[in-house]
Structure formats: structure tokens, C-alpha cells
Structure 1
Amino acid sequence: SGGRVLYTILSINRALDGNRPDKYAFEAGLGAVLINRTKFSLRTEIATRNYLTEKFKSLDNHQSSLRVIPAFKLSERMSIFVAPSLNYAERDENSIYGGSTLWKAWRRDRTRNTFYGGGMAGLMLKL
């Protein structure tokens, strides 16, 4: 929801993998439309995601993201996008995946805090 320039982000996610203790996630954030032309738009978003168990108890795992979202408009209500992101995660992976750290980015400590890059692509529909 939001206005012409600033908007809010609220989402609830469910993990499809049945063996994970983090069954649900709640995400909240703020976004801004930087460029809005006839065939192109550029948005940026900052959001945080918290993970929950099957009984909706909070886990000591969360992720903060900065996303840059360039989109090409196919029509007035439909766009395609590819969005890179920079993420910071604080997680107790032993409670989720078990085992040791498989890789390191910049620096990880025993709580497995890390920065990493990511991305998403998709189809955006305006309702």
C-alpha cells in the first residue's frame, strides 16, 4: 500500500519444505519509486524478514535487505523486473539446518551473521 512515491511492504511467507523449523516468515519494509517513465520504472526497497516456527514462535533468525528494482512496463498494469539485493542476515543456522558453515562472506562469527548478495525476478501486477 502507499502513494505515488513512498509505499509500505507487508508480506507473510510459508516454507514449502516440510522438514524446516522456520515454517513461516513475516516481512515489513518501506519502498520508494525513484523513476516512473512510460516504459521504465526504478524502485528501491528496504525490508526486514523475521522467521517463525509452526506454532508462530519467533526464531533468533532475521534478514534485512536493500533491493534495487528496475522494471520494464509491458502495459499500464503489468511489468517485468530483475532485482539485485544486498542482504544482512543474523541467524542461528544450527536451529534451522544443523551442521557447520559451508561458506563465508566477509566475516561470519559463531552466530553466523553475514552479508550476501541475492536477487529476484518476476512479474509485477498493479491491482
Structure 2
Amino acid sequence: MVGDAAFPLKLYLMRPYPGQNLTHQKRIFNYRLSRARMVVENAFGILSSRWRVLHRRINLHPQNVDTLVLAACILHNFLLAPRENVRMLEEAEQQRRNLPAVRHMGGNRASRERPVM
């Protein structure tokens, strides 16, 4: 994960080197880390402006949050070029029409069930 100096130092977090008198390599690292963080923040800003669910705390298991963000990215990319996606949607509709019809399906209502004795 990428963070700035405000985040605590953790094994899973990359943050810039502190201080003013840094070597050339450390300055380059800080610059590249800052650019990476800005790209991520900008991308999340674009996503959150389209999907309001990302404006507040998401009460889901972390694995499901990953799925939610991935779905938001996929939908975002899908909506960027709707004309290009029309062909794909038409092909999917054609495949759906070729499926055999389902016959004689009744509802699964409890009132139709016979009691077991």
C-alpha cells in the first residue's frame, strides 16, 4: 500500500523518507511514491464521483469490498464506451434467445407443501 508521512510505519505500507537532507536516490523514491499515490487518489476520486457508495464507510467483509471496487471499475470502463459494448450485449441477447424454454415451473410456496407426518 502507498501512503504519505501521516500514516504510521507498517510492513505493508510504503511511505516517503522523512527529512530534508536526503540522498538523490531517496528524493527520486519520494517523488515516484508521491506520483503513484496521486494516480491512485485521482482514480478513486473518479470512481467515487460516479458511484456514491464509495463516499461513505462500506460495511462489508474486506474480500467483498475488493469485489465491490472491482465491479465499480468494470462498470466504469463499460460505461466509458457504450457504443463499443452494444455488439457484445446484442450477442449475449442472441445467445439467451437460443436457450430452450423452461416449461411448467410452479412457484415454491409453502402453502402448496404437504405436511410431513
Fold conserved between structures, TM > 0.5: no
Q: Greater helix percent: which structure?
A: 2
Q: In proportion to residue count, which structure has more strand? A: 1
For CA contacts below 8 A with separation 6 or more, give which structure has more relative contact order: 1
With normalisation by structure 2, the TM-score equals 0.20
